[in-house]
Amino acid sequence: MTILKIARMGHPILRVVAEKVTEEDFKSGRVKHWISDMWDTMMDADGIGLAAPQVHISKQLTVLGGLSSRYEDEPEVPQQVLINPEITSIGEETMTTVEGCLSLPGLRGVVERPKHIKVVALDENGKEVEFEAKGFHAIVIQHETDHLFGKLYIDRLVDSTSIGFEKEFSRYMMPPEQE
Ligand code: ZN
């Protein structure tokens, strides 16, 4: 079990486009190794997703899903490994969600994203998968995929005042419940 150090906002690795995972990465066993360390790190940090650049690996690889007490009011997200993901939105509908990020500890912000997406990616074995995701599942995938392209949720706040520290956020800023 290896828990990796998480890069925080300000570290340049969070702001560059990560390299695609290659066949050589799979063959060498590196991908398996990265995934195993990323699960350990994500669980330890109580996150709902983690992207490789957040642990100083500039590759297009994310792990997500499972249970996190940080998001206990949200529907459960299936555990998935997504490699070299490509996302397209389906329809025009968007949803606003309160997002947090292990690279911005202690902060929460309100972000608007497409509600329904199509995902094409490789799984942990290098096999192509294609599926649709909706609601909170779609939000988590989009948040993690953003990390692979040098984006953070603060780039997508509904407005610049929609961010705060967790305690103040839950006390003063929680948006009304929405479906
Ligand atoms: Zn994040």
| Digit-coded pLDDT (tens) for 84-113 | 999 999 999 999 999 999 999 999 999 999
Instruction: Quote the ligand 1 centre to 60 CA distance (angstroms).
Output: 14
Q: Is residue 99 part of a domain?
A: yes
Residue 116 has pLDDT above 70, yes or no: yes
Number of domains in the chain: 1
| Digit-coded pLDDT (tens) for 7-49 | 999 999 999 999 999 999 999 999 999 999 999 999 999 999 9
Instruction: Quote the ligand 1 centre to 145 CA distance (angstroms).
Output: 9
Q: Is residue 7 part of a domain?
A: no
Instruction: Quote the ligand 1 centre to 48 CA distance (angstroms).
Output: 9
Supply the range of the domain harboring residue 81: 12-178
Instruction: Quote the ligand 1 centre to 133 CA distance (angstroms).
Output: 18
pTM for the model: 0.95
Residue 142: CATH number of its domain = 3.90.45.10
Q: Is residue 164 part of a domain?
A: yes
Catalytic residue among 76, 99, 144, 179: 144
| C-alpha to C-alpha distances, 139 to 70, 87, 111, 174, nearest whole angstrom | 15, 11, 9, 18
Is 144 among the catalytic positions? yes
